[in-house]
Structure 1
Amino acid sequence: MPNQHVPLLPNNYYHLYNRANGDDKLFRSDENYWYFLRRIKKYILPVAHLWTYSLMPNHFHLFVKIKEDSVIENYYKIKKLKEFDTRIQLISDFIMEQFSNCLNGYAKAFNKMYDRKGALFMDYLKRSIASDDNDITSFIFYSHKNAVHHDLTDKIGQWKYDSYQALISTGKTDLARAEVIEWFGSTQQFIKFHNQPVDLKNRNKYFD
């Protein structure tokens, strides 16, 4: 099950998930979705490779690979204007700080835009580490099947707030497209895999 206490460590893959508090929505307009993605680019991409994402009206899923420790330590030095001291700071704390800044800033802007008060997100950022190849494939697949799972679309590729179309295109993207496509062998194999019928109801080990 997703756990908010799993540390985010270099070179590991994680499924990350959070949802809106109560019956509220995280995204009420197109601009909300795009603003959230801009915050991901600003805060998360310096420390993680974004493999997939799925933004639903009241929750989101991200699948990332945390970057190498040397890359993160160098970014820390640039951002903080000081050397990374492993004796007093865990690298996982700095990684988590980046994710927290992303979400907290979004919540603050969202509340201001809609004259809203209180917590926007229900809880801490939930995460599950991908422990084997099957987990990685499952996390990628579900990111793109999520809209179908929630009856927002009839098939994969129709929801404009997930990473599927960007991964099969040749346009510029901030996603780790080459790595994702290589994982499946080719773009054609990626599409073929996503076209197969899969029973999502038996996958609640990881997903909502």
Structure 2
Amino acid sequence: MKPSANTNIRTTLPLLPFPANSSRPTITTQRLVIHPLRESDLQSLYEIRSQPDVMRNSPRGTPDTDVSESKRVLGGYLAPKDGETFYFAIYLKSKDDDKMIGLGGCHRLSSMFGWPVVGYMIRREYWGLGMATEFLTAWLGLWGELERREVVIDVDARTLPVPIIPEQIVAWALADNVGSWRVMEKAGFEHLLTWKEADLRDPNVDAELKSYRYFV
């Protein structure tokens, strides 16, 4: 992405550390049960991260080939690391299927734009059914209820609305990942920027990305 002027602003962000997984709520939506990640989610996580279509849209770009790779990822969301992230498992409410169908949340409190970033993964067989939108809408409700603190942070000047500077959370996806940015639009995000940069999956080619933001 082309360099941009940054500026210090006063805003609010969730109080750190984030609540421990053990104290986070489990919530239900029309079709989903959303709860904190746990060690027993490992096999389901591996199954999700071993799907080529899912991982094609990730910075890694390739599937996990061994459960130990998924275990390292999961460890970043479990105690004691849970105080640094706000990630949740996504299950179907139906009792007929007890597998995790996805996961998502805030994995980094400061992104390249200066604001927190949200992301998610959904099993390939559940794409196009509105599951990601249903999750993201519910998760944003949890995010908004977190206790806040006043902070001064350095943000990309292009993210600043005029004249008010409300708290934001950002996300981005490959420009050809139409399903993902439609999910964000349906959940209330607005398009922020589109740019090209070296593809993390193959630095020899450029990837076009679209970023979105949500005002908390």
Q: TM-score with structure 1 length normalisation? A: 0.29
| Bigger fraction of residues in strand | 2
| Bigger fraction of residues in helix | 1
